[in-house]
Amino acid sequence: MKTEKHEHTATLGQGTTLPIRILLADQHPVVRIGVENLLQDADGIEVVGEAGDGDETITKTRELHPDILLLDLNIPKMPDEEAMRALVSRSPETRLILLTNSVSNQEALAALQLDARGIVAKDALTDHLVPAIRAVSSGRYWIWHRRASSLADTLSSMAQSTAPPLPQNKSYGLTPRELEVVGCIVGGCSNRDIAQQFQLSEETVKRHLSNIFEKTGVSTRLELALFAIERQLVAPRS
């Protein structure tokens, strides 16, 4: 493995691009070796560290500040969702790609709830890992076999993969205002954004969301967004 370091490789000459710095976290040494060998041949990508469990992942993310954290979803001592979100928020320059043994709506939703930008199946690393790293590094998402420009596009792709199509025009008892709030959630709006758009207090927005969660049977904003797109409650927003 390349020597761990805290800063990007120095640039020499005008127009030289800094490499995308990778921290690779997987419990299996064979997987880490395989991924590192795969990335060695990719221009502009550099593995700067490895971790074998969740504790080591947290420590090295804080030390190295990588551009991309490649994380096995089933790594031992895996932090809970709150801890992972806190880690990502404390390292805003680090974007998360999860490596999994399978790719499903459930896995993808779990990844997004960890603030991940990408999810790649381990049996598709050869074809998809490098494109996923480049997509996520440039600010896009990578779910399954494709990239998406926004979270709304990602959720729409997830919904389109679900069969059979669900009936349209069922409101689940949501009021017109609640449907407007759902549309904002699909578009990635915060409570403050929604409050400003409709001239409401944030407490009122929270009450709307509580009612919406109860009526739809979901418990998070991401689940609500996917639920809404799958059931065509609102049109996907970019």
Residue spans per domain, the chain: 20-149, 150-238
- Residue-by-residue DSSP string for the chain: -PPP-SSPPPP-STTPPPPEEEEEE-S-HHHHHHHHHHHHTSTTEEEEEEESSHHHHHHHHHHH--SEEEEETT-TT---HHHHHHHHHHSTT-EEEEEES---HHHHHHHHHTT-SEEEEGGGHHHHHHHHHHHHHTT-EEETTEEESSHHHHHHHHHHTSSSPPPSS--TT--HHHHHHHHHHHTT--HHHHHHHHT--HHHHHHHHHHHHHHHT--SHHHHHHHHHHTTSS----
Nearest to 87 by CA among 116, 108, 110, 109: 116
| CATH top-level class of 20-149 | alpha beta
Q: How confident is the model at residue 210 (pLDDT cuts 50, 70, 90)?
A: very high
The CA–CA distances, whole Å, from 214 to 49, 152, 172, 190 equal 44, 22, 10, 19
**pTM score over 0.75:** no
CA 108 to chain centre: 8
One fold for 20-149 and 150-238: yes
CB 36 within 8 A of CB 48: no
The CA–CA distances, whole Å, from 142 to 69, 108, 112, 131, 167 equal 14, 10, 11, 8, 28
Q: pLDDT tens digits for 98-116?
A: 998 876 676 677 777 777 8
pLDDT above 70 covers what percent of the chain? 81
Q: What is the CATH number of domain 150-238?
A: 3.40.50.2300
Q: Please tell me which residue, 98 or 12, carries the higher pLDDT value.
A: 98
CB 46 within 8 A of CB 21: yes
Nearest-angstrom CA–CA distance, 149 and 154: 8
**Residue 45 burial (CB count, 10 A):** 20
Does the pLDDT value for residue 225 go beyond 70? yes
Lowest mean pLDDT among 61-70, 91-100, 149-158, 199-208: 149-158
Q: pLDDT tens digits for 149-204?
A: 777 777 777 666 654 455 555 788 999 999 999 988 887 788 998 999 999 999 99
Nearest-angstrom CA–CA distance, 207 and 169: 24
